[in-house]
Amino acid sequence: MSGSEPTRTRKPAAFRLDDSKVHLSDDDLREPAADEAIVARSAIEDDEIRLPRDASDPKPGFGFGKWLMAGLAGLVSLAIGLAVDSLIRDLFARTDWLGWLGVGLAAIAALGLLGLVLRELAGLMRLGKIDDVRESLQIAAEEDDARRASAGLKDLLDLYRDRPATAQGRKALAGHMREVIDGRDLVKLAERDLLSPLDQEARKIVMNSAKRVSVITAVSPRALVDLLVVLFENLRIIRRLSALYGGRPGTLGFLRLAKHVLAHLAVTGGMAAGDSLASELLGHGLAARLSARLGEGVINGLLTARIGIAAISVCRPAPFVDSSGPNVKDFMGELIASSEKAEKEAREEK
């Protein structure tokens, strides 16, 4: 265009906001001079002033707790070792065959300890693998990523390669993976063909435990017995579901799994479901159909079912994509029916 001034180019420069050459302006269209900077007032007002990210990060402190635990563990190990050594020396002092017997028993104990440690590590690795497979398939379903879904399903097939009950499902799923199918649909097919029989068995496990809790807590005269029954059944549910879905945890793995189940319950609000369940049951006329004791047993059974549902979500190596998974209402009808049957039989016996 004729008469237009040539475009001026400025070298990059840094300014502080409190510099005298920096001017705040409501009109950010004006071109600044060569030695000044113009900052739109709205850009500062809209932006929150934030401290550096590391200002809120906790600084790693000196690991006094770790030192304490390491020291105590070392002292206990030394005490056990010295006690065994002293015992074996005393046995050799008495007679040689007793000393060698003590050495053999100590070797057996050492091998047992080594095997126990290896089993615990293997159980933790299996649980970690299940968590990784579930997370990978969850992302693949959300992003419809066929490549990620195929990789996750290969790990899933590897997890169940030694399970004869899954042979038909593994064969069907392997055939689907050779076809061109979207990632989300692949996860749905795995849920239908491979995991569906396991899900049905998991529901039976939870349902049977919920029935036992419902009946026993209804007829038990002691609150302590109720507490022990509920605790035993809940722990039994977690262990059986983990074994069903391929976890097979050891002691440490089981504790880790129970922690995850409790965390899942806390996130989903499961532990606070007692009041809502009671209100819903009473709203359906349960108080008029069952005695107060049997009604309390039904609520305990439903809470046990809720823990079982959380355990299924934690132990299952794949997310629920094609369905929403089991919920408490799926168990309500059968629990109420079994409680009514138990109450009827009790009345007939009287």
Q: What is the pLDDT of residues 210-228, one digit of tens each?
A: 888 887 877 766 777 778 8
Q: Quick check: 268 and 310 in contact, CB under 8 A? A: yes
Residue type, 277: L
Pairing between β-strand 37-40 and β-strand 22-25 as defined by DSSP bridges: parallel
pLDDT number for residue 272: 46
Distant-in-sequence, close-in-space partners of 332: CB < 8 Å, separation ≥ 6: 281, 302
DSSP per residue, 110-160: HHHHHHHHHHHHHHHHHHHHHHHHHHHHHHHHHHT-HHHHHHHHHHHHHHT
pLDDT number for residue 321: 86
Q: Which residues pair with 37 in a beta bridge?
A: 22
pLDDT number for residue 114: 92
pLDDT number for residue 296: 72
pLDDT number for residue 334: 78
Written as six digits, the tokens of 106 are 């100590």
Give residue for tokens 């029935």.
Answer: 211
Q: Quick check: 202 and 241 in contact, CB under 8 A? A: yes
Q: Quick check: 216 and 222 in contact, CB under 8 A? A: no
Sequence spans of domains, the chain: 11-46, 78-193, 197-349
Q: What b/e string do you get for 17-47 counting C-beta neighbours within 10 Å, with b at 16 or more?
A: eeeeeeeeeeeeeeeeeeeebbeeeeeeeee
pLDDT number for residue 280: 53
Written as six digits, the tokens of 120 are 């615990």
Q: Report residue 39: phi and psi, to 5°.
A: -115, 130
For the beta carbon of residue 229, count every other beta carbon within 10 angstroms: 18
Please give the Cα distance from 126 to 149 (Å, whole number). Answer: 20
Listed residue (213, 211, 238, 248) closest to 312, CA to CA: 238
Q: Report residue 40: phi and psi, to 5°.
A: -65, 135
pLDDT under 50: residue ranges of the chain: 1-5, 28, 43-47, 271-272, 274-275, 287-288
pTM for the structure as a whole: 0.67
Please give the Cα distance from 157 to 169 (Å, whole number). Answer: 9
DSSP 272: T
pLDDT number for residue 104: 93
